[in-house]
Structure 1
Amino acid sequence: MAVIQLISFELAGDEYAVDITTVNGIVKYKNYSVVKIPNASKGLEGFINLRGKAIPVFNLKKKLQYTDDTIYEDSKIIIINYSGSIVGFIVDDVTDIFKLRDEQIEQLSGSISGNCDKYIKGIGKSDDNMIVILDLILVLSENELKQVNSA
């Protein structure tokens, strides 16, 4: 029985989770200046200087097609390590760290339509609560992934 540790976060009142092993850190949005990129891909807010390295930062609400994609002063940036490349995702807030057993995670296997099934790892269930578990890197398009890998 394997156990997975997750970090939960909020987007416009909705709660999601991500596997903690992919998270390289969490920083406050207001502590960084975001350098905007003209004609950038949808959701790319720009770059931040994180420990001397330029890190691409995506607005996760834009990537998930939320109509309200506002970034707040107290928003957080979840830093993800992807094949040696570092990427940031802006979320409204980071809310918890918790564990689930494998049997508490239900795979969706074709039960949803659209493109979202590629980045949804499953639905976590604990007591009467459910939470969508995301693979944040797979939210990015193939072109964005190539750009991240070459950064």
Structure 2
Amino acid sequence: MSSVQFIIFELEQQQYGIEIDFVNGINKLNDLKISHIPNSPTFIEGIINLRGKIIPLYNLRKRFQFQNNTIRKNDEILIAIVNDIMIGLIVDEVVDIVRIEDTDIESTVTLFSSNITNEFISSIAKKDDQMIIILNAEKILTVKERDIITPLIEK
């Protein structure tokens, strides 16, 4: 039996997970200055300069089409490397790092019909009576979105 480590974070009182291998760091939003980019997709809040690197910020509340999608000063940013691009994912709070057994993870393909699943959600995990939605980090950015943000971060 094998297991995978995940960073667990909350959005609107629901827990989500992303494999730890994709995460490069965690920062407080209130410590950073956001530069807004005109004509960018609505879920891209802007870019930040983090230790000399330009990083686009994704508002996951907007990406997931939540009603309450404004960012707050106490939000946190998960710095992730997705398809060789460093991005910041704005989340309510990072709550834990956990190891989840493969037997406690179910693919969304087996749970739902294809017309209601989301391409960036890979599975659902069970951990201590919690349901954790596992994100497919490699699918968070579409090809079109990569084409939009790549010129912003290249030097």
TM-score by length of 1: 0.91
* Distance in structure 2 (CA, Å) of the matches to 1:62 and 1:97: 24
Once the two structures are superposed, residues 11-51 of structure 1 have per-residue CA deviations (whole angstroms, 9 ceiling, x without a partner) of 12221111111001111101110000112112000000011
- The aligned counterpart of 1:145 is 146
| SS of alignment partner, residue 118 of structure 1 | coil
Give distance in 2, aligned partners of 1:136 and 1:122: 12
- Whether 1:125 aligns to 2:107 is no
Q: Is there any run of 5+ residues in structure 1 with no aligned partner, and where?
A: none
- State whether residues 61 and 68 of structure 2, in contact with CA within 8 Å, keep that contact through their aligned partners in structure 1: yes
2:39 aligned residue: 39
The C-alpha deviation readout for 1:34-77, integer Å capped at 9, x for no partner, is 00011211200000001111111111100010010121111001
Change (3 A) 1:148 1:39: closer
Q: C-alpha separation between the residues in 2 aligned to 1:54 and 1:115?
A: 34
C-alpha distance after superposition, 1:64-123 (max 9, x if no partner): 100101211110010111233201110111111111111110011161454643111101
Which range moves more in the overlay, 129-138 or 14-23? 129-138
For residues 81-100 of structure 1, the aligned pairs below 5 Å read 81-100=81-100
CA shift for structure 1 position 127: 4.1
Question: Number of residues paired by the alignment?
Answer: 151
Task: List gaps (5 residues or longer) in structure 2.
Answer: none
Mapping for residues 59-74 of structure 1, pairs under 5 Å: 59-74=59-74
* In 2: Cα distance, 1:23 partner to 1:56 partner: 15
Using a 3 Å threshold, how does the CA distance of structure 1 residues 149 and 13 change in structure 2: closer, same or farther?
Answer: same
Give the alignment's TM-score, normalised by structure 2.
0.88
Percent identity, aligned pairs only?
37
Deviation at 1:132?
0.7
Q: Which letter maps to 1:133?
A: I
Q: Is the 8 A contact 1:85 1:148 kept in 2?
A: no
